[in-house]
Amino acid sequence: MIKYILSPKGIILLAFAGAVIAVSVLMAWSELGFSGTLPDWLTDLTTRIGLHGLISESFNNLKPGLGGDLTKFLEGKGVSVNPKSTASLGDYGYILFMGIALVIAGIAIMIIGKEDAEEKTVIPVKK
Amino acid sequence: MQKIVDNHPLKAFNSLTLMLENITNKVMTSKYNPFYYHGALPQYYLWVLYLSGLLLFAYYIPTIDNAYFSKNLVNAWTSVDYITKSLPFGGVIRGIHRYAGDAMVITIFLHAIRVWFTDRYRQYRWLQWVSGIILAIFVLFIGQTGYYLVWDERSLLLTRMTAGAFEAIPFIGSGLKTWFLNGDQITNLTLSNFLFIHIGLSFFLLFGLWVHYLRMTRPVMTPPPAVNYILTAFVLICVFLFPINSGQMADLNTQPNAFEIDWFFLFPYALLSQMPVGAYWAVMVLGTVAITALPWIMIPKQPAIETAEVVLNKCTGCSLCYKDCPYQAIEMVPAPAGSRFKLLATVKDFRCSGCGVCVGACAFDAIDLPDLPDAEVNAKIKALLEAKG
Amino acid sequence: MSDAQKTVITLICERAVEVNVDGGGACPDVPGMKVIKFPCSGMIQPLMIEAALKNGAEGVVVCGCQIGDCYYREGNRMIRERLLGDRPPTMKKGTDRRRILALWLARPQKDRFISESKEFIAKLGSLPAPEAK
């Protein structure tokens, strides 16, 4: 198992897994409306385990850059939401990051699943 | 033995397809090559459409003007507007429903083009070709009713164009128009009819698919998960890049005359706006008939298929050929009286493709292709080996 | 001159990779190879492979289209499963499986076919001679 993880294929897969997780975190961030505000339970939890500063910091760092860009792009496309409702522009960001995560995951599965000698079958010798 | 392997009319396109697939194979290997699941791709999008459509159906109100809410107008357009702007993920689900539909049309087109280019639509496959054409027409019509349902100005114009086109058909025209509008003119009942057509016909697709899969042993219906992920992602990213907005709410007193066109579903309307109604119907009907007749007219003198033949005194009734036949062309019947075995394989000539898979499945040399019996193959192997040695 | 006497039989689908064959069934690109074409690789019986080996073939190459792409839907999958012993009828126990190679190549992949079969023939030379039957 460890040998597999340290092989080139395993390292590529770890990189893909990391990418999928990173993009999936962006899904949560989008769902919260591209802002740094975390729900209470998450703030509570992250404070307890000492990660609160890290997470809200990174969310806030994303907010003026990526969040602003995404908002501007969507508004430029004529998307608007009812401010009285719970819908948000972040829904669209959520779906974008979900799409990207699925692409990365799909490629990763293809790398794991592809057989080495696809165009050639050597029949194993029976004992 | 005159087979059309290398001299069929679309040879160049066949080579092109194989070349393209060869490149795809280099990138994603044949296990994940989407071209090898071309028939399963639209089927996957159909499930996506059913699911997203179910969520939209929960909030959609098929009326032009709901009398009970006359003070605060609730109709199809406002319900769609509510879905898009106020429901969490409503706009996104609407986008998925729209783009999965477009993707389904694209994949259906790819599927049809591939079977045509690779010469897999004729003779024993005519049922698949004809049912596929009918399915594609229904998919287009269902998609168009989806555009009527949102009830913006485009919907109004499309509805009027369709009603006008139906009315122009001789004899049955006025009846068709009445059926389409659910009355003589556009009323509240029109939209409930559209909703019925949209949902009712989409379940008819399942029946059509059953016919489409008839005679196919083990039809490929599901692409591998990794391909599904990419297919889904394609739709999701489109939802973000091209978010859906409704046009102005339809007003029966106005006459809108231009709209943004979705070329995947609404191309017939582009045609309709460019020519008189009579010519439009002529083009549509003749085009459909021509495409449907392709299996018979594409190659004028198709050589007859050399169907497999069972060697009656050798068949043991083991059913291996019956299980492996890719076209369900072999039926196991009770063996004649006096036989040592219970069953006997029989070939249904009209389904047989002459591929010889049954020969490969038979361990008793009991089924043969008349133009290449296995005894001849074995003799040939011997002759080739003796020629030099 | 033992090399000249050895023959490798190729059982190939006529829609798979395009192999040049002269009138006598030999393939000029690969010395020592004789080719028999089938309408589909699914028609190839394990019995035929055994017959070829029994009659003195040095090896057998089975060739069909790319897995996933069969004109008749599943022929190449079927023969692959039969060769691997996953689908009846399978090969007899005593068949020398080292002398069998299966290739799944599409029409434009001629170069791959030639290089793979040459490699296979070279490998066959290093195997111990088949027992006389």
Sorted by where each begins, the domain ranges of chain C are 2-124
How far out from the chain centre does Cα C124 lie?
13
The answer to whether the CB atoms of C100 and A123 lie below 8 A apart is yes
pLDDT over 90 at B108, yes or no: yes
- The number of C-alpha atoms within 13 Å of B285 and in the hemisphere containing its C-beta is 7
The pLDDT-based confidence of B68 (bands split at 50, 70, 90) is low
Contact C59, C100 (CB under 8 A): yes
Tens digit of pLDDT for each residue in B21-49? 888 887 877 888 888 889 999 999 999 99
Highest mean pLDDT (candidates A84-88, B169-173, B372-376, C3-7): B169-173
pLDDT at residue C86, rounded to an integer: 86
Contact B124, B352 (CB under 8 A): yes
Selected for mutation to probe chain C from B116, B124, B314, B388 (highest C CB count within 10 Å) is B388
**Chain B nearest-CA residue for C7:** B385
The answer to whether the CB atoms of C107 and B18 lie below 8 A apart is yes
Measure C23 CA to nearest chain A CA, in Å: 28
Least confident of B1-15, B22-36, C38-52: B1-15
How many Å apart are CA B354 and CA B113, to the nearest integer? 24
The mean per-residue pLDDT over the stretch A29-39 comes to: 71
* Structure-token pair, residue B376: 């001849």
Q: What is the CATH number of domain B309-388?
A: 3.30.70.3270
The pLDDT-based confidence of A64 (bands split at 50, 70, 90) is low
Average pLDDT, chain A: 79
Sorted by where each begins, the domain ranges of chain B are 11-297, 309-388
CB atoms within 10 A of CB B260: 8
The mean per-residue pLDDT over the stretch B259-264 comes to: 84
* Structure-token pair, residue A95: 């779906």
Q: Which residues contact B378 (CB under 8 A, 6 or more apart)?
A: C47, C48, C51
Q: Considering only CB atoms, which chain A residues are within 8 Å of B240?
A: 74, 92-93, 95-96, 99
The answer to whether the CB atoms of C40 and B357 lie below 8 A apart is yes
How many Å apart are CA A57 and CA C132, to the nearest integer? 78
pLDDT at residue B5, rounded to an integer: 58
Selected for mutation to probe chain A from C13, C92, C98 (highest A CB count within 10 Å) is C98
Average pLDDT, chain B: 88
B11-297: what CATH class? Answer: mainly alpha
The answer to whether the CB atoms of A123 and C66 lie below 8 A apart is no
pLDDT over 80 at A57, yes or no: no
Interface membership of B387 toward C (CB under 8 Å): yes
The answer to whether the CB atoms of A99 and B234 lie below 8 A apart is yes
E strands of chain C, at which residues? 8-13, 33-38, 59-64, 100-104
Host H or E run for residue B113: helix B90-117
The answer to whether the CB atoms of C45 and B3 lie below 8 A apart is no
pLDDT over 60 at C131, yes or no: no
Q: Which percentage of chain B shows pLDDT scores above 70?
A: 96
The answer to whether the CB atoms of A120 and C83 lie below 8 A apart is no
Q: What are phi and psi of A38, to 5 degrees?
A: -100, 150
Indicate the residue type of B77: W
pLDDT over 80 at B267, yes or no: yes
How many Å apart are CA B136 and CA B151, to the nearest integer? 24
pLDDT at residue B1, rounded to an integer: 36
Sorted by where each begins, the domain ranges of chain A are 2-113
Nearest to B222 by CA among B16, B79, B41: B41
CB atoms within 10 A of CB B50: 16
Indicate the residue type of A63: K
Which class for B105: exposed (0-12), middle (13-18), buried (19 or more C-beta within 10 A)? buried
Interface membership of B32 toward A (CB under 8 Å): yes
* Structure-token pair, residue C98: 């080292």
Which class for C116: exposed (0-12), middle (13-18), buried (19 or more C-beta within 10 A)? buried
pLDDT at residue B32, rounded to an integer: 84
Least confident of A65-74, B41-50, B130-139, C80-89: A65-74
Nearest to B248 by CA among A91, A73, A78: A78
Tens digit of pLDDT for each residue in B318-362? 888 898 899 999 999 898 888 888 888 999 888 998 888 898 888
Interface membership of B379 toward C (CB under 8 Å): no
pLDDT over 70 at C22, yes or no: yes
